[in-house]
Amino acid sequence: MTPTTASTSLPVLDLSRLDAGPAERAALLAELRRTAYDFGFFYVTGHGVAPALTRQVLTLARRFFSLPEADKLAIEMLHSPHFRGYTRQGQEYTRGQRDWREQVDFGPERPSLPRTPEAPPWTRIQGPNQWPASLPEIREVILRYQAAAAGLATRLVQTFAAALGQPEDVFAPIYTPEPHYLLKIIRYPGRDATESDQGVGAHKDGGFVTVLLQDVQEGLEVEHEGAWLKAPPVPGTFIINVGEVLELASNGYLRANVHRVVTPPAGTDRLSVAFFFSARLGSTVPVLTLPPELAHLARGATADPRNPLFHDTGKNHLKSRLRSHPDVAQRHHADLLASEEYGALVAKA
């Protein structure tokens, strides 16, 4: 049955309450635990990211998408074995269906790793970004924004740990010293410029958490109790959602929730900036020992035969990239597609 649209609103949590004394901190942790269990999504205030920086990012996003097509295609993802760069609308897929959005992906600015027969396949993900020559100022702003978003995401991961009755640094061994992350700057064109209303199809996010910055046009919807909850932009906030790493680590107490983006109305478009913060590539997600009052509520990690979850973070990320960008996969990773292991995973998409 297709979920209907509901009027329930996502909760708003103020992170500054963590520093407002023991009682306020305990109350916020309880609220976070309840919200993450029930929704897996929430708005966050008191996050400490400068409004001037978020405005800069959105301004540069608009400028990038206004560039001539040739300038954008100069950094097309097809040129990058690391899945970095620009993707035209209709060229990324969710569960085998086209997503009607254009986007540019930036990850950590790190050197590529040698491709040898002994190297784990996930090492192919690491490598340099592609930066648009016609908008040189974007590099410095994006790197600053990535640092700010990573700082917020790290604090959230520590707060989730505390909410689960764990030491705040319980996840540090799998995200230090070099967490994996991905920044997507996305433009969803209006319905008059697409072939369907799928901005991005229903899916869950990998990683620990996603930090989402929205501009002014709504479109994000979150599944909850058989309905789709709208999550419109709220000035000064980010939307945070639980990723599959936290679902695995908490044995499903925290659930990475399904969400989608609906194509905006004709004559409009929608801008968003999604920062996906994850564990270090090559790390293994632990299963935490939860306090008894939480453990008995744990639902187990999602068992989806079409989207198996692995405690091997590198394998999870590579699976996702190969599925989402079949053109890049075919050009740069045909050997993996022909392998028994990854060929089967991609075929399930």
Model confidence at 344, in pLDDT bands (50, 70, 90)? confident
Q: Stretch 192-212: mean pLDDT, rounded?
A: 95
Looking at the chain, the whole-number percentage of residues with pLDDT higher than 70 is 97
Alpha-carbon gap, residue 295 to 289, rounded angstroms? 8
Beta carbons within 10 angstroms of residue 99's beta carbon? 26
Map residue 151 onto helix, strand or coil: helix
pLDDT tens readout for residues 101-124? 999 999 999 999 999 999 999 999
Q: Stretch 180-204: mean pLDDT, rounded?
A: 95
Q: What is the pLDDT of residue 7?
A: 47
Q: What is the pLDDT of residue 1?
A: 36
Which pair of tokens denotes residue 183? 């920044």
Angle in degrees, 0-180, between the axes of helices 51-65 and 138-163, rounded to the nearest 10: 130
**Could you tell me which residues come within 8 angstroms of residue 276 by beta carbon, excluding any fewer than 6 positions away?**
181, 182, 183, 184, 205, 206, 207, 210, 243
Pairing type for strands 41-45 and 12-14 reads: parallel
Model confidence at 281, in pLDDT bands (50, 70, 90)? very high
Query: Which whole-number Å values give the CA distances from 137 to 131, 133, 144, 207, in the listed order?
Result: 10, 9, 12, 28
Q: Which of 95, 105, 92 is nearest to 131 (CA)?
A: 105
Phi, psi of 159 (to 5 degrees): -70, -40
Q: What is the pLDDT of residue 90?
A: 92
pLDDT tens readout for residues 282-311? 999 999 999 999 999 999 988 787 888 889
Sketch out the chain's domains with CATH numbers: 4-347 (2.60.120.330)
